[in-house]
């Protein structure tokens, strides 16, 4: 497998289970979002991937975020783009290994994971049908120059109003951009920082259930 991962197999015996891939944020690891797994629908095959760049102390990143006096904070977009390709390969590997339902693939990302989930949905049209983007934004530099108009993916987006890591203004641009491409999305804000509120969890859980 191209990425290390944790898996929760479906609790019911189902031949072609729907697939949910989890992508953690910067400096975290595959354990982080996997804590959601027990609370999510029994039919799902849930796979939590570990990002490829080791930051030490059990932390991993999908791409480097650098700080300097001139540019302030900036993202390594070459690494980000490579990670998008790796995630796409990984999704194919998981689909094959576990014989998942090809029409029911969900990609859930938090922060860096959400940024790459958006990028992947445009770069590899319809590889995933549903994206849950938590506390992220669309980095237009990671999108293809030509947007394929056959994309049918829909999006659940949420963000904390007092997010001190990724400003709420960045997140608010996502629904506008998606609507420009006629892509369905559901957008919500919660009175939290850079994290997932309990009511936020139940909201995206219901969104997933409706699409199973």
Confidence of residue 161 (pLDDT cuts 50, 70, 90): very high
How many structural domains comprise the chain? Answer: 1
Instruction: Identify the residue whose tokens are 């790796």.
Output: 86
Confidence of residue 97 (pLDDT cuts 50, 70, 90): very high
d(CA 203, CA 208) in angstroms, rounded, equals 9
- Indicate the pTM of the whole model: 0.95
Mean pLDDT, to the nearest integer, of 127-135? 98
What CATH number does residue 11 fall under? 3.40.50.1820
Q: Are 136 and 118 in contact (CB under 8 A)?
A: yes
Beta strands in the chain (DSSP E): 5-8, 19-23, 45-49, 53-56, 59-61, 65-68, 72-75, 105-110, 130-134, 154-160, 185-190
pLDDT for residue 74 is more than 70: yes
Q: What is the DSSP letter of 185?
A: E
Pairing relation of β-strands 130-134 and 154-160? parallel
pLDDT at residue number 121: 97
User: How far apart, in Å, are the Cα atoms of 45 and each of 28, 162, 165, 203?
Assistant: 22, 33, 31, 20
Mean pLDDT, to the nearest integer, of 162-185? 96
pLDDT at residue number 69: 65
Mean pLDDT, to the nearest integer, of 129-138? 98
Range of the domain at 38: 5-210
Phi, psi of 118 (to 5 degrees): -60, -50
Per-residue model confidence as pLDDT tens digits over 82-95: 999 999 999 999 99
Q: Name the percent of the chain lying above pLDDT 90.
A: 88
Lowest mean pLDDT among 40-54, 67-81, 121-135, 136-150: 67-81
pLDDT for residue 72 is more than 70: no
Average pLDDT across the chain, whole number:
94
Three-class SS state of 179: helix
Per-residue model confidence as pLDDT tens digits over 34-70: 999 999 999 999 999 999 999 999 999 999 887 766 6
Of 9, 25, 209, residue with least CA distance to 109: 25
The structure tokens listed for 32 are 């982080």
Residues near 87 by Cβ (< 8 Å), separated by ≥ 6? Answer: 3, 21, 23, 49, 116, 120
pLDDT at residue number 1: 87
What are the respective helix, strand and coil percentages of the chain, to the nearest 5?
35, 25, 40
d(CA 136, CA 168) in angstroms, rounded, equals 9
pLDDT at residue number 13: 85
């Amino acid at each position: 497998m191209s990425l290390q991962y944790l898996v929760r197999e479906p609790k019911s015996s189902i031949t072609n289970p729907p697939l949910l891939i989890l992508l953690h944020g910067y400096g975290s690891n595959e354990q982080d979002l996997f804590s959601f797994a027990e609370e999510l629908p029994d039919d799902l095959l849930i796979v939590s991937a570990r990002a490829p760049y080791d930051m030490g102390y059990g932390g991993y990143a999908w791409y480097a975020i650098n700080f300097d006096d001139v540019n302030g904070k900036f993202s390594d977009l070459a690494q980000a783009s490579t990670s998008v390709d790796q995630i796409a390969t990984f999704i194919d590997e998981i689909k094959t290994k576990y014989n998942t339902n090809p029409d029911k693939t969900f990609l859930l990302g938090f922060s860096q994971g959400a940024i790459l989930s958006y990028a992947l949905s445009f770069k590899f049209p319809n590889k995933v049908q549903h994206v849950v983007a938590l506390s992220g934004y669309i980095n237009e530099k990671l999108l293809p120059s030509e947007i394929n108009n056959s994309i049918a993916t829909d999006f659940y987006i949420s963000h904390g109003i007092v997010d001190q890591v990724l400003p709420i203004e960045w997140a608010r641009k996502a629904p506008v951009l998606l609507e420009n491409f006629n892509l369905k999305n559901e957008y919500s804000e919660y009175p939290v920082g850079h994290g997932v509120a309990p009511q936020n969890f139940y909201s995206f859980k219901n969104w997933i259930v409706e699409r199973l």
